[in-house]
Amino acid sequence: MAMTTKCIGTRNADRSNDQSIAVLLGPEQLDQITMSELLFSTSRFLPPYAAIPDPYKFGNTKWNRLFSDWFYSGVADLHLIPKGGVDVNKALRVIKAHMISFEPSHGHKEAGVAYMMSLLFEDATWSLYSVDPIDLIGG
């Protein structure tokens, strides 16, 4: 009897596993994104789930924390140190286009975008976007 395991939260992982080579994101790919992808989202450079290193799948990296803070709360004072040859503005456009995509499952998107950020940036610092609690209740 063959046993099959499936990861929770990786709906598109099975489809992505068919790809044998991960598309690694670097400076040369940043110019390949189209205006339509920037406006309406993309998952073109999202690595297949199987190609993403485990620490990114389990949310145990600085890049996962940045993704979660940015996605759920918004970040302020974001400072990124790019790796050699990476244009920060181009990289941020590509990252944002992937963050807003509805195509991958959220778990795949978080792991993939966190991994993509680790390929593009040496380090990052940020603070959470400050929300006045009174504004939330209309006061």
Q: Is 77 exposed, middle or buried (0-12, 13-18, 19+ CB in 10 A)?
A: exposed
What pLDDT sits at residue 51?
Answer: 93
Non-local CB neighbours of 111 within 8 Å, separated by 6+ positions: 49, 52, 56, 57, 59, 64
> What letter would DSSP give residue 22?
-
Amino acid letter, 101: S
What is the Cα Rg of the chain in Å? 16
pTM: 0.74
DSSP alpha helix (H) spans, the chain: 13-16, 35-40, 54-57, 62-72, 88-99, 106-120, 133-136
Token pair, residue 122, equals 């040496």
What pLDDT sits at residue 107?
Answer: 96
pLDDT in tens, 56-70: 999 989 999 999 999
| Residue ranges for the chain with pLDDT beneath 50 | 1-23
What pLDDT sits at residue 130?
Answer: 72
Strands 75-82 and 121-128: antiparallel
What pLDDT sits at residue 31?
Answer: 77
Question: What's the count of helices (H) and strands (E) in the chain, helices before strands?
Answer: 7, 2
pLDDT in tens, 64-95: 999 999 999 899 999 999 999 999 999 999 99
What pLDDT sits at residue 24?
Answer: 63
